[in-house]
Structure 1
Amino acid sequence: MLSYAIILTSVLVLVSLLMNVWRILRGPELPDRILALDTLYINSIALIILLGLHNGSALYFEGALLIAMLGFVSTAALSKYLLRGDIIE
């Protein structure tokens, strides 16, 4: 029963990922695209964690943690670039 719930949740997260990609491609402004990219990496973390639960392996959780750290840094860098025009002062 748990495997069916994980598969259903994975399909719903994949639909969410596709909607994020649509927003990145069709976003009217740059802040919309940055927000969609931020949501995209959060949804990819959820998908990796669901895959780890399905396979019963703890390695997926470490990969999700790595993506979370890189996603946070990239979102902060893109936001700073959007506000100031440069990343490193």
Structure 2
Amino acid sequence: MIVVFTVTLAILAAAALLTMVRLLRGPTTLDRITALDVLVILVVCGVAVYVAINRDGSNIPLVAAVALIGFVGSATAARLVERGERHR
């Protein structure tokens, strides 16, 4: 079972690296916001894998809080970008 966790963490790390490239090179602000949202989701998935490896459910509220903050933050940022494009 440890092989599955290791492979999962490796795939998440590769996805995070590619997401960081998009975050740094994104041509538009909306691309960067989307990359940041994906990065938050990858962090949540990584913590969920950590919880599964250690079989310790004490971090589940942390996972839920980070996911909620990520969702609210990306929705707010997208709304601000949309509002800024309307004024141009």
TM norm structure 2: 0.90
In 2, the alpha carbon distance for the partners of 1:18 and 1:50 equals 18
Cα drift, residue 60 of structure 1? 2.3
Structure 1, unaligned stretches of length 5 or more?
none
Tell me the equivalent position of 2:83.
Answer: 84
Tell me the equivalent position of 2:68.
Answer: 69
Q: Is the partner of 1:21 in helix, strand or coil?
A: helix
In 2, the alpha carbon distance for the partners of 1:63 and 1:11 equals 22
Report matched runs for 1:41-52 at 5 Å: 41-52=40-51
In 2, the alpha carbon distance for the partners of 1:62 and 1:12 equals 24
Tell me the equivalent position of 1:34.
Answer: 33
Do the aligned partners of 1:52 and 1:58 also contact (CA within 8 Å) in 2? yes
Cα drift, residue 44 of structure 1? 0.8
Tell me the equivalent position of 2:18.
Answer: 19
The alignment's C-alpha RMSD in Å is 0.9
Deviation by residue 1:28-71 (Cα, 9 ceiling, x = unmatched): 11111111111111111110000111111102222111111000
Q: How many residues align?
A: 84
TM norm structure 1: 0.89
Q: Which amino acid aligns with 2:3?
A: Y
**4+ runs deviating over 3 angstroms:** none
